Structure 1
């Protein structure tokens, strides 16, 4: 047990150390940060993010976040930049250089080259008085007192701080651009995240059969309809409007109460005023309604007329749940 306690204590200390550092970052967000954000927002160019070592890994994530939230960005490795990749940088681009110390040899070679090209240089660094900090036009101060590493060597707290500062930058730009969920969906058309943002009920009802019976149809016909359409449910429809619903559960409960089903009709066993959703609603809304009401199917309608069924299996197959 002491062995496990040691592991737990180390993990907790790591999280606490990084958490305190991140909270301190909020005090370092000043008017200079706001001016940096505004410069990128007003710029007609892209954002080039560069770094070396673990900072380069953080740079790639910041680039991904910027691209997905409406700010065109490109990653440039600092070591590759001084061996030919400087051509990535175009006239109106802004360069963000990430370095904890701000004094690494590669940074000292790269920074003058960027400055000579006339591009604005921004630093994400723990040391604003470093070579990088002094040479930059804007400093996003990502100061950390110590790494979570017990030897204060492995980049841990510092890279977390860099990442958080990058997120703060991206979210500030997102806010200025009025970047909406529909904009986000345009950049994330694949995967479950994108589907939650653009998939509609109509996209799911079109995949299914459209089970329906009239109120006066026999229970035998109801059973056949539910069995043939393979959705475990049928709508009860009159004049194209939904007046009720019958599930396979309703049928099982009926059979425990009634010995002779002859003469029974759909209206005798249906649930009136069932839960419904508009055909143009988002699929995620259908999921929320099912979850709230503890049901596995929901009927859809368009302009007040029955349009189909959404089954929980549709949502599962699309990766929404």
Structure 2
């Protein structure tokens, strides 16, 4: 069984080696890198990303990042490409080929075929003297001094470098396109991430009841409304006008101060300046307001009129928190 020190030391050495290799990529950012970004930006096609072995796995991640940030991309396995998958490539597509050595049999066979198609070939590789480098139109240099593997065999540092270079391209493209969080939401509609980016306060409030009482409502009527709707609050309205809001906390504080409740009305209890949010604002903003003010519910309005309530529990259920 390994000691704690030896395990931690090994992990530190790996992280240092890989982080240093990624920083070294800064020295490799040249005119070819700029041309790659501009070629993708001006292309009417997609980015076809290919590779073999561990590079193929990194290629799939780069494809996923491109697609989620507004750059259409497709993964093509280098081994399958020569058995029919070359048909994936369309005339306006740019091909990005990942390889550490640039000399594996599959890549040596594939590179000339890619050139025949007339598509721009970009090579992301760790050997700028390789067969792939000689075939490529543009080169992204991801050379590393050594793998983190003590035998310098298992792709570790080299794949980290490929991944980082892919991210660098994706972010350059994202910023050049002025890709916003609203755009990001279009590609991530599912799960809590998507909801944080597109779900509106009004979407949640619309699912709830709209508890309300008149200004002269009695304590009994107020408590019935709060209990009935399970939102911990009731809004005091006069016609279409919002006068204020009463929470269950307001009720408790009132009971501590008064023994005679007969003459107390909603207008005596309500907060005249409740925290509120427009129905078109993101639910995420509603959460921020709730957190900042240490409250559990927020009033939702539409065109300054009462639209509904959003409770902290609603945000929890939607996965916004």
The verdict on a shared fold, with TM-score over 0.5 as the criterion, is yes
What is the alpha-carbon distance in structure 1 between the residues aligned to residue 234 and residue 153 of structure 2? 65
Deviations 1:103-144 (A, max 9, x none): 111110110111111111101112222221222111111122
Deviation at residue 251 of structure 1 after TM alignment: 1.5
**Secondary structure in 2 aligned to 1:250?**
helix
State the number of aligned residues. Answer: 321
CA distance change for structure 1 residues 200 and 99 in 2, over 3 Å: closer, same or farther? Answer: same
- The equivalent of 1:4 in structure 2 is 4
- The equivalent of 2:72 in structure 1 is 72
Deviations 1:159-211 (A, max 9, x none): 11111111111111222222222222222211111111111111011010111
Q: TM-score, normalised by structure 1?
A: 0.96
Does 1:17 pair with 2:13?
no
**Secondary structure in 2 aligned to 1:160?**
helix
Deviations 1:65-95 (A, max 9, x none): 1111111111000111112211111112111
Point out where structure 1 has 5 or more consecutive residues left out of the alignment: none
Does 1:86 pair with 2:86?
yes
Deviations 1:6-65 (A, max 9, x none): 222222222221111111212211121011111111111111100011110011111111
Does 1:143 pair with 2:143?
yes
- The equivalent of 1:122 in structure 2 is 122
Deviations 1:246-294 (A, max 9, x none): 1112212222332231111112222221111111111111011111111
- The equivalent of 2:213 in structure 1 is 213
**Secondary structure in 2 aligned to 1:15?**
helix
- The equivalent of 2:178 in structure 1 is 178
Deviation at residue 303 of structure 1 after TM alignment: 1.4
Deviation at residue 2 of structure 1 after TM alignment: 8.0
Q: CA RMSD in A?
A: 1.6
Point out where structure 2 has 5 or more consecutive residues left out of the alignment: none
What is the alpha-carbon distance in structure 1 between the residues aligned to residue 31 and residue 265 of structure 2? 73
- The equivalent of 2:279 in structure 1 is 279
Runs of 4+ in 1 over 4 A off after TM superposition: none
- The equivalent of 2:164 in structure 1 is 164
**Secondary structure in 2 aligned to 1:101?**
coil
What is the alpha-carbon distance in structure 1 between the residues aligned to residue 272 and residue 97 of structure 2? 64
**Secondary structure in 2 aligned to 1:272?**
coil
What is the alpha-carbon distance in structure 2 between the residues aligned to residue 9 and residue 254 of structure 1? 61
What is the alpha-carbon distance in structure 2 between the residues aligned to residue 10 and residue 295 of structure 1? 47
Q: Once structures 1 and 2 are overlaid, which stretch shifts more, 255-264 or 201-210?
A: 255-264
What is the alpha-carbon distance in structure 1 between the residues aligned to residue 44 and residue 2 of structure 2? 58
Q: TM-score, normalised by structure 2?
A: 0.96
